[in-house]
Amino acid sequence: MNPQRRALLRAGSLAAALPLAAGAGSAAAASAALAPPLPPLPAVPAGTTPEVLASNQAYWQAVAAQYDTTDAIVQLDNAYWGAMARPVLRHYEQQLAMVNRDNAWYARMRFPADFEAARAAAARALGVASDEIVLTRGATEALQVLIAGYNRLRPGDTVLYADIDYDNMITVTRWLQQRRGVQVVSIAMPEPFAHDNVVAAYVAAMESQPTLKLMLLTHVNHRNGMVLPVAEISRLARARGIDVIVDTAHGFGQLDMTIPDLQADFAGINLHKWIGAPVGVGAAYVKRGRLADIDPYLGEKAGDDIRTRVHTGTVNFAAYLSLPTALDLHAQIGVANKQARLRLLRNRWVEAARGIDGIEVLASGDPRLTSAIASFRLRGKTSVADSYALSKKLVQQHGIFAVPRDGLASGACVRVTPGIFTPESHMDRLVDALRKVARG
């Protein structure tokens, strides 16, 4: 049995066996205070669509007022991780202080139940059952466990990834060659990308690789932000007996979807990006009935509890304790409203930048493929050095931070990601800067 699980069970039985002393109220109170009430947001008239709300300045200023943001720079790299809103930060600080004070007395006696409550809250938001997810420290831990643990591969089978996938997930997928004796192949996404040519690229790969058994699919990639038609590709794969592992590090929380919408049996999820939980919170999803296809964690005993697939050791207790608060705020704003607001901010710069001579925008005009993230480069400047120079120029000459990204088959680029607290004026500053940068 996973030592973490064993420890939790032991702690659970400890909690059952030991009576709480009268003076033990602090830990008990902390458990009860899992999700404090949130400050109200302006009322939205009934029937207001997310698209209409997206340009309601007063509403989004009220949302932005829940966040501490910096004046030092125009911060357009909100894809790294998601800033916590102030109520989440405050709750996190309180939980951190409580855990630090009550120490093992809290961790052994109360944390197991609170950790379960956090898992249940995450499962509800993800649209799955609690026993289909295990909380992790992020999408990396979740996906490493799923890719490395997927045990239906046999020597001679083929595994596929694409140029848009995340660097470390590509590394783990390539490692399957040594670990499982499989052939690992990659494809490049077409550019410019559109719904049909992207699906066609995966279909062509499935048809040209008769031994293909597993594909890594990145729902929203971190290079150009394209939303992959995951459900469609998953269905086509399933019909051919091919499994998919979905990296939805950037999908869940910013797109109006839940995990079953992906039509996939395995997914790695981040909760510290677009949900805004403290850094160190993610989840792995395995559909009921598929757990046996993922190895227990590094020599742990096989079991039918998904928690035997991850062994994190001692965790950042307070981060998980604040997860329900972050999920409550996410629900209060509404994911469809978040998605529409992020799309408005993204379209504001993408559409203006398309008209600038010398700027190549890496973004689809198809709303189905649109996320908060999009990228650009100076036309013809595709090297990694070019993208670093461009990012540096934006910082030094225009006070704008957007991160260089490489790995696309078409070359390196600079990535732009607003957050839900980003004002329109920041996107306009970027467009002004791009006009100047394009002139040289």
Ligand X SMILES: Cc1ncc(COP(=O)(O)O)c(C=O)c1O
Strands ordered across the beta sheet of 243-248? 133-136, 282-286, 266-270, 243-248, 212-218, 158-162, 183-187
Nearer to ligand X by C-beta: 169 or 344? 169
- Contacts with ligand X, residue ranges (CB under 6 A): 138-140, 166, 169, 218, 221-222, 247, 249-250, 270, 282
Nearest to 407 by CA among 169, 77, 127, 75: 169
CB of 320 to ligand X, least distance (A): 15
CB of 393 to ligand X, least distance (A): 24
Nearer to ligand X by C-beta: 50 or 419? 419
Nearer to ligand X by C-beta: 284 or 340? 284
CB of 350 to ligand X, least distance (A): 19
CB of 249 to ligand X, least distance (A): 3
Beta carbons of 81 and 254 less than 8 angstroms apart: no
CB of 30 to ligand X, least distance (A): 26
Tell me the C-alpha distance between 230 and 218, whole Å. Answer: 8
CB of 279 to ligand X, least distance (A): 8
Nearer to ligand X by C-beta: 48 or 186? 186
**What b/e readout covers 198-226, taking b as 16+ CB neighbours within 10 angstroms?**
beebbeebbeebeebbbbbbbbbbbbbbb
Nearer to ligand X by C-beta: 35 or 283? 283
Nearest to 167 by CA among 93, 223, 89, 228: 223
CB of 363 to ligand X, least distance (A): 16
Nearer to ligand X by C-beta: 50 or 82? 82
Nearer to ligand X by C-beta: 123 or 403? 403
Query: Torsion angle of alpha carbons 193, 194, 198, 203, nearest 10°?
Result: -140
